[in-house]
Amino acid sequence: MDIKNDIWDSYIYFFSASSTQAFLKRCYEGENLSNSEIKSFENCYPFIYYIEHAKTYYQQAVSAPLSIQPILCFYGFIQLLKACLLTIDPNYPESTSVLAHGVTTRKRKKQQYEFIHDEVKVQKNGLFTYMAEKMFQLQHLDGDKYSMKELMNELPELEKCFQHVHSIYNFRILTPLEKGYALPVETLNAFYMTSNRFRDFLSTRVQMELTVEESNSILHLEPGREWSLNSDSPVRYDLVEKNFVLSTNKDSPCYHFPELMIHYLLLYNLSMIARYETEWWTELLKTMPNDDYPFIVQFLNITMVKGPYLVYEWLSRERFI
């Protein structure tokens, strides 16, 4: 997978104190916060430094050995998320409770451990839960568990990996039409629904009204507004193929997760393994004993580009630019 890593060119507009201060002021005014002008002046340099620090981590990750890439990507991603949260909460971080990771994983790996079957568990406090609430209005996640396979199933750039290794097809392409999108009518079989039931189901999941008409072996979808790359929705954007796709994993516990949350959970677990499970991690990289290796490498290749890409989309489309 080869995606030109030029996303940082887009961030250049944030490397200006005056424009960043104006941007933060619009954000705070949009949140109806008091002292928006004062807070925007106070936070413009912290915001810039978060972005600058993240850029350094990611650029180092591109040229770093695979063995430490998860650590660099995770800490770069955290810096980007801190910048996002600063646009919502001018006092971030207001307490130490939001500085923890907000996720935990099994400390001692079992024999015959496979990454794809490992799980993470959401904690009550920390960056993950704070991000979910503030950026995506998702609450009450503490105690929930998600497997690496469930999370990876929701990343469209890993579709070919799942097809090749497990013969699993997780997505259906939303083909653009002059008005709306087309899906193969066979999509209804994947959901075990009629077209009317599918319309009601999808309208609820994408949180907008849409029409679904069945004709000539296709489903014609017309959403009420443009798809968002960062919504809690099963419609996702494939950065490799440059198209929107629909996840068919309707029974997955993370079916509705915004992709930024999925990247966080996967990077958290991989970074913990790279730091603390040295023997297993080194053996994986040297001997490639199972299917974990291609999935991990493919994910790291895409997250180094898509993580910053999704954050920039969130900042530019959600935060009043």
* Cβ pair 222, 292 in contact under 8 A: no
Count of H-run helices and E-run strands, the chain: 11, 10
Range of the domain at 112: 7-162+255-318
* Cβ pair 116, 291 in contact under 8 A: yes
Name the band, by pLDDT with cuts 50, 70 and 90, for residue 1: very low
Asked if 192 and 54 sit in the same domain, the reply is: no
* Cβ pair 68, 311 in contact under 8 A: no
Asked if 227 and 270 sit in the same domain, the reply is: no
pLDDT at site 2? 43
Whether 107 has a pLDDT exceeding 80, the answer reads no
22-47, pLDDT tens digit by residue?
A: 999 999 999 898 899 999 999 999 99
Asked if 187 and 154 sit in the same domain, the reply is: no
Q: What is the CA radius of gyration of the chain?
A: 20
- Number of neighbouring beta carbons within 10 Å of residue 307: 24
Bigger pLDDT: 106 or 275?
Answer: 275
Asked which of 214, 247, 280 is the last residue of a domain, the reply is 247
Asked if 262 and 218 sit in the same domain, the reply is: no
Can you read off the two tokens belonging to residue 92?
């971030």
Asked which of 223, 247, 271 is the last residue of a domain, the reply is 247
Distance CA 101, CA 82 (A): 12
Can you read off the two tokens belonging to residue 41?
């002046």
Asked if 179 and 308 sit in the same domain, the reply is: no
Whether 109 has a pLDDT exceeding 70, the answer reads no
115-159, pLDDT tens digit by residue?
A: 999 999 999 999 999 999 999 999 999 999 999 999 999 999 999
Asked which of 197, 229, 247 is the last residue of a domain, the reply is 247
Asked if 77 and 184 sit in the same domain, the reply is: no
Asked if 149 and 193 sit in the same domain, the reply is: no
Asked if 191 and 239 sit in the same domain, the reply is: yes
The reply to whether 47 falls in a domain is: yes
Distance CA 78, CA 56 (A): 12
Q: Which of 34-38, 55-59, 165-169 has the lowest mean pLDDT?
A: 165-169
Strand partners, 212: 221
Q: How many domains does the chain have?
A: 2
Element (H, E) at 175: strand 175-176
Asked if 197 and 54 sit in the same domain, the reply is: no
Asked if 28 and 69 sit in the same domain, the reply is: yes
Can you read off the two tokens belonging to residue 166?
């497990």
Asked if 118 and 177 sit in the same domain, the reply is: no
The reply to whether 296 falls in a domain is: yes
Phi, psi of 170 (to 5 degrees): -95, -15
Asked if 29 and 61 sit in the same domain, the reply is: yes
